[in-house]
Amino acid sequence: DFKMAYRFQSAPTADQIGRDITTLKMALQPGALTDTVSYLDVRDTFNRVTAAILIFLLAFSVFALGAVALIIANVVTGAVIGSYREIGIMKALGFTPLQVVQSFVAQMAGPALAGCLVGILIGGLLSQPLLNQSTDALGLPSGFSFAPWIPIVAVSGVLVIVVIAAVTPAWRAAVLNPASAISLGTSPRIRGRSGLGRLLNRLGLARPISLGADDAWVRPIRGGLTAIAILLGVATLTFAYGLHGSFNAYHDFAPLQGQVIVERTALYPEAGLITTLKAQPETDNVVRVDSRTMSVSGASAPVQGTFYEGDSTRLGWLVLKGRWFSAPGEAVAASALLQDLHLNVGDSVSGLIDSQPVRIRIVGVTFDPDNSGRAFIADWSTLAAAVPNAEASTYYVALRPGTDPAAFARRIQATQPDFLNAQVADFGASSFGILESVMLALVLVLILIAVVGVFNTVLLNTRERIHDTAVLKAVGMTPGQIVAMVAVSASLLGLVGGLLGVPLGIALHRGLMGLMGNLIGNEMPSVALNVFDPLVLPLLVLAGLVLAILGAVLPARWVARLSVAEVLHAE
């Protein structure tokens, strides 16, 4: 057997390629051309797998960008609000409101631009190893590659967020009279006690708890942005947990688990291979496999049919509806084929295999990601009725318990290395490892972003209320109570983010898994969707609480060590 890359002068469609292949077969000796694979099939398979991966990467990227935007807006807004006293002084010196706004926009844009440049450089360098791996896998030349539009979009997006976040609070302060701005900067006006704080106080809880509940939403916009950042972190963590569960479920229901696939060339007689396989003491079951294309009237593309001879019920295919085939003429198919041909379980369809009529009856729906789900599986007798002299080119070998599949495959391969190709069945499950590694890295980044967001919010709140905190310490509140007050404030934000983030993550998981199923032409089985353990969900909610407390540790320690005399020296 030989494989040859053959290029036609023009091959834009599958139909034209099919006609050209027919012409080529007629020009060759009978049997000279045994099988063909179109570049369109290879391209569609590659694009389908790539699209499925990009769905998840895009979801994580949107979450990451959203969280980063919230952090930028929170930091910039807090910095401007913390500069009300300086704004009042600028107004007293004669600055106009527009000049004040321009000044603060320039102050915020400078560090933002510097951060963008450093981030672009670091991101470009860190992306090169991954890009080199991808180019090597595709056989493309490797080297430093960087699209110039990426830094332009990144810098523009960050600057727009910075400008919007800086203009709003700066303009609000700039239109105040100088005395009011200075007064707000020295002793900012804080809203009265919240309803939650009053309720906790009536319940007789410790004062640090009720005071912390008040502090959580002392700045509603700031608190809301922080809660959303935690929400995104928890939602991402929940989504990643569900995705990991779905991948594990796929490992469980993927067909041919622990089996060996043996492929032979036409130069090696089938009888000899069957004898060799059945003679092995580890062999438990052998299934002969052949694939043929069936032309069906009304189908958007030729339908791929796979035919089994042997105990195919032991191959492990997951049947979503109906049952596995058990008689000649019966078949199971993926959902995309049924949708394409407008069929349901129990319907029949006719077509041509090697110019011979074939009629199959659909008795079940299976999960088959190959061929974009436009394929069916039937018994060998269905093929033999149209092609009596058909021979198998592939063999599925089920092994006895305790057998090492890799060692078995190597031994079979060694018997005829020039005519056989034996390998352990994978069915695409191993490719999930790379995707899970990328997901883990993105989850860690989003968790870090959420922690930084909490840290920034708590730090700004404690600095703004430093006068009130000093008074509380002066009247007897201990450092431990101060830490508890700050922790309660952050914990409320974390609890809100956790309670809202978990259902969002579950909904995102179900939606994207369903979308991935549509891309590969299959209905996603419930076993891949219902992967959330009820006992784990409360822990995911508490993850928001943990993120909030981690972000509040340093500001809480700082304010607990505060010197009352230093803060109140002007009183």
Phi (first) and psi of residue 326, to 5 degrees: -140, 0
pLDDT at residue 363 in the model: 96
What confidence score (pLDDT) does residue 472 get?
81
pLDDT tens profile 370-400 = 777 788 999 999 999 888 888 898 999 999 9
Whether residues 443 and 560 share a domain: the answer is: yes
The two three-digit tokens of residue 273, written as one number: 């291979």
What pLDDT, in 10s, does the model give residues 284-330?
999 999 988 888 877 766 788 999 999 998 888 989 999 999 999 99
Q: Are residues 400 and 468 in the same domain?
A: no
Residues 384 and 449 in one domain: no
Read off the pLDDT of each residue in 270-283 and give the average, rounded to a whole number.
Answer: 90
pLDDT confidence of residue 431? 58
| Same domain as 405, residue 299 | yes
pLDDT of the residue at 138: 62
In the predicted model, what is the mean pLDDT of the chain? Answer: 82
Q: Are residues 308 and 343 in the same domain?
A: yes
The number of distinct structural domains making up the chain is 3
131 in any annotated domain: no
Asked, for residue 170, whether it belongs to a domain, the answer is: no
Q: Which of 427, 446, 468 delimits the end of a domain? A: 427
Q: What is the pLDDT of residues 38-52, one digit of tens each?
A: 777 777 767 776 777
pLDDT digits (tens, 9 = 90+) for 4-36: 777 887 766 777 877 787 788 788 877 677 667
Backbone angles phi, psi at 564, to 5 degrees: -60, -40
- Residue 303 sits in which domain range? 260-427
**CB 296 within 8 Å of CB 341:** yes
Residues 267 and 287 in one domain: yes
Look at residue 370 and tell me if it is in a domain.
yes
Answer yes or no: is 305 within a domain.
Answer: yes
**In this model, does residue 238 exceed pLDDT 80?**
yes
The percentage of residues in the chain with a pLDDT greater than 90, rounded to a whole number, is: 19
Same domain, 324 and 464: no
Exposure class string for 98-121: b at 16+ Cβ within 10 A, else e = eebbebbbebbbeebeeebeeebe
> Within this chain, do residues 283 and 418 fall inside the same structural domain, yes or no?
yes
Q: Is there a domain that residue 84 lies in? A: no
What's the average model confidence in pLDDT over 241-257? 82
Q: Which amino acid is residue 276, in one-letter code?
A: T
Domain assignment present for residue 538? The answer is yes
The single-letter code of the amino acid at 47 is N
Q: Is the CB of residue 185 less than 8 Å from the CB of residue 84?
A: yes
In this structure, the answer to whether residues 465 and 367 fall within a common structural domain is no
Least-confidence region, from 195-199, 338-342, 549-553 = 195-199
Domain boundary among 427, 451, 468: 427
Confidence band (pLDDT; 50, 70, 90) for 452?
confident
Q: Which of 427, 462, 497 is the last residue of a domain?
A: 427
Residue 487's alpha-carbon distances to 12, 208, 220, in angstroms, are: 64, 9, 18
In a domain, 76, yes or no: no
Q: Which amino acid is at 379?
A: D
d(CA 380, CA 31): 21
pTM above 0.85, yes or no: no
Structure tokens at 280: 């092995």
pLDDT at 205: 66
Nearest to 481, CA basis, from 202, 197, 205: 205
Q: Which residues contact 297 (CB under 8 A, 6 or more apart)?
A: 350, 351
User: Where does the pLDDT of residue 501 fall: very low under 50, low under 70, confident under 90, or very high at 90 and above?
Assistant: very high
| Same domain? 273 vs 379 | yes
Q: Of 129-143, 233-247, 466-480, 498-512, give the range with the top mean pLDDT.
A: 498-512
Q: Is residue 79 part of a domain?
A: no
Q: What is the pLDDT of residues 139-187, one digit of tens each?
A: 667 766 677 888 888 889 888 888 888 888 888 777 877 777 777 665 5
pLDDT for the residue numbered 189:
53
Q: Where does the pLDDT of residue 197 fall: very low under 50, low under 70, confident under 90, or very high at 90 and above?
A: low
In 14-33, which positions are buried (b, 16+ CB within 10 angstroms) versus exposed (e)?
Answer: eeebbebbeeeeeeeeeeee
Same domain, 284 and 381: yes
280 and 216 in one domain?
no
pLDDT of residue 171: 84
Per-residue model confidence as pLDDT tens digits over 396-425? 999 999 899 999 999 999 988 888 889 988
Asked if 520 and 52 touch (Cβ cutoff 8 Å), the reply is yes
- Average pLDDT for 95-117: 87
